[in-house]
Amino acid sequence: MIPSTPFLCVVTDEAFNPVTLAEKALEGGATMIQLRHKSASGSQLLFWALEIVRLCRLHDALSIINDRIDIALASNADGVHLGQLDMPARAARKLLGPSRILGISTSSPAEALQAEEDGANYIGFGHIFPTSSKERNSAPVGAETLAAAARLVTIPIVAIGGIAISSANQMISCGASGIAVISAVSRAENPAEAAACLLEAMRRGEQ
């Protein structure tokens, strides 16, 4: 269900067309695309989701929808990603059924452990470093906290928040199964090349 490690999740950036960004990220080897757009209408999200699901299948990658279980089901995406303030994981699992992927955002070892107990298939952990994409005014958790959470859970843990090519290998060394990025790919001069470089950096962290 979850791709082999290390894996790269590219989260769409609201400043760019998500389908175009997904296509470029997949060309570079991204193994998961997460459609995230807080201000789009439901019809627009569904249109994008259907296109991203199609592209992901062509590239043997996973399609994940942020927050919207209804869009995930309607587009036949592989799963959904929820935050701590969204629908509880156990309720989400009932709606999704047993076969779809459920990712949960966490920022502490205790939250990570609870997410696993509640039926998550993977954990998004962070934000590790300072990042402009966080709406909440919270401090970065850092690599040591990531490592502590990784020791507690048995499901894949995905580091997110301010991760760049220079820090991708450290995340794997700390026990993460992969990373999730936004600007490291979307704001790169060549998004496909940036995705490939992130994957290569993570592989060095496994050695």
63: in domain: yes
3-class secondary-structure state, position 206: helix
CATH for 141: 3.20.20.70
1 assigned to some structural domain: no
Q: Which of 11, 128, 8, 127 is nearest to 66 (CA)?
A: 11
Cβ atoms within 10 Å of 114's Cβ, excluding its own: 17
- Assess if residue 118 is contained within a domain: yes
Query: Which residues are catalytic, by number?
Result: 36, 105, 134
The verdict on residue 140 lying in a domain is: yes
Q: Is 64 exposed, middle or buried (0-12, 13-18, 19+ CB in 10 A)?
A: buried
pLDDT tens digit sequence for 76-105 = 999 999 999 999 999 999 999 999 999 999
Give a yes or no: residue 23 inside a domain. yes
pLDDT tens per residue, range 128-179? 999 876 555 689 999 999 999 999 999 999 999 999 999 999 999 999 999 9
Q: Are 141 and 108 in contact (CB under 8 A)?
A: yes
Domain of 184, in residue numbers: 7-206
Each residue's pLDDT tens digit, 1-45: 676 678 999 999 999 999 999 999 999 999 999 999 999 999 999
70 within some domain: yes
